[in-house]
């Protein structure tokens, strides 16, 4: 029971860190605020994360990566074209932004921009997160008939485009950039496969 309670406290701390990074950024998130937000006992943070804020931030990035990867995988399992898959994923992101009044962005891009040059640990966590989104999308596109190299190129371009659209949408307080990204990506992915493929 103690182990279970401890695991629950650790999970709440990670969840709170993730939510606060989305709303305030990594640098704007203090550890005391995380503990209060998680309603965790004082001292629990360093008990579960003795290496401090970077360790907690790393786990938050991993949690965000896991959730978005699951979204990509689940969307790919539903019927429809590759463009439909991407539209479903972007639709979820569109809803998240609108529902939060454009306060919640992608925590992985936030941590990358803030800490990528300062913390190798967090930069690696973010690189792994992006990779965990590109990989299943590349596998899906390869299964749709694209050569492996071309599938990975397309998947990388899709993730890059969506991340950029998320940033623009937050800045403009409009989901139009995301909708534009969805239209362009869907048109690209749904065009018939021909001999002229990406190398």
Answer whether 0.85 is exceeded by the pTM: yes
Specify if 151 maps to a domain: yes
Specify if 1 maps to a domain: no
CB-based contacts of 45-50 (< 8 A; 24+ apart in sequence): 45/13, 48/6, 48/9, 48/10, 48/13, 49/10, 49/13
Q: Can you tell me the distance from the alpha carbon of 30 to that of 24, in angstroms, rounded to the nearest whole number? A: 10
pLDDT tens digits for range 18-49 = 999 999 999 999 999 999 999 998 788 889 99
Tokens 């962005």 sit at which residue? 105
Domain of 159: which CATH number?
Answer: 1.10.357.10
Specify if 76 maps to a domain: yes
Specify if 18 maps to a domain: no
Specify if 139 maps to a domain: yes
pLDDT tens digits for range 139-190 = 999 999 999 999 999 999 999 999 999 999 999 999 999 999 999 999 999 9
Specify if 112 maps to a domain: yes
Instruction: Indicate if the pLDDT at residue 191 is higher than 90.
Output: no
Specify if 164 maps to a domain: yes
Specify if 48 maps to a domain: no
For the chain, the domain total comes to 1
- How high is the mean pLDDT of the chain? 91
pLDDT band at 199 (very low <50, low <70, confident <90, very high): very low
Per-residue CA distances from 36 to 43, 82, 141 (Å): 11, 42, 43
pLDDT tens digits for range 57-71 = 999 999 999 999 999
Domain that holds residue 150: 60-190
pLDDT band at 194 (very low <50, low <70, confident <90, very high): low
Instruction: Indicate if the pLDDT at residue 193 is higher than 80.
Output: no
Q: Can you tell me the distance from the alpha carbon of 17 to that of 32, in angstroms, rounded to the nearest whole number? A: 11
């Amino acid at each position: 029971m103690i182990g279970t309670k401890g695991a629950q406290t650790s999970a709440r701390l990670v969840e709170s860190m993730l939510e606060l990074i989305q709303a305030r950024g990594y640098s704007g998130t203090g550890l005391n605020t995380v503990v209060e937000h998680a309603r965790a006992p004082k001292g629990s943070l360093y008990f579960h994360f003795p290496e401090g804020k970077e360790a907690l931030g790393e786990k938050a990035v991993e949690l965000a990566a896991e959730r978005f990867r699951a979204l990509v995988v689940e969307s790919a399992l539903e019927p429809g074209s590759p463009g439909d898959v991407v539209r479903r994923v972007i639709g979820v992101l569109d809803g998240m932004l609108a529902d939060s009044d454009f306060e919640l962005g992608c925590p992985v891009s936030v941590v990358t921009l803030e800490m990528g040059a300062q913390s190798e640990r967090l930069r690696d966590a973010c690189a792994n997160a992006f990779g965990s989104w590109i990989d299943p999308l590349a596998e899906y596109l390869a299964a749709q008939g694209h050569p492996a190299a071309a599938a990975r190129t397309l998947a990388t371009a899709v993730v890059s485009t969506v991340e950029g659209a998320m940033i623009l949408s937050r800045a403009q307080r409009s989901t139009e950039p995301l909708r534009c990204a969805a239209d362009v990506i869907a048109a690209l992915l749904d065009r018939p496969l021909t001999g002229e493929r990406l190398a």
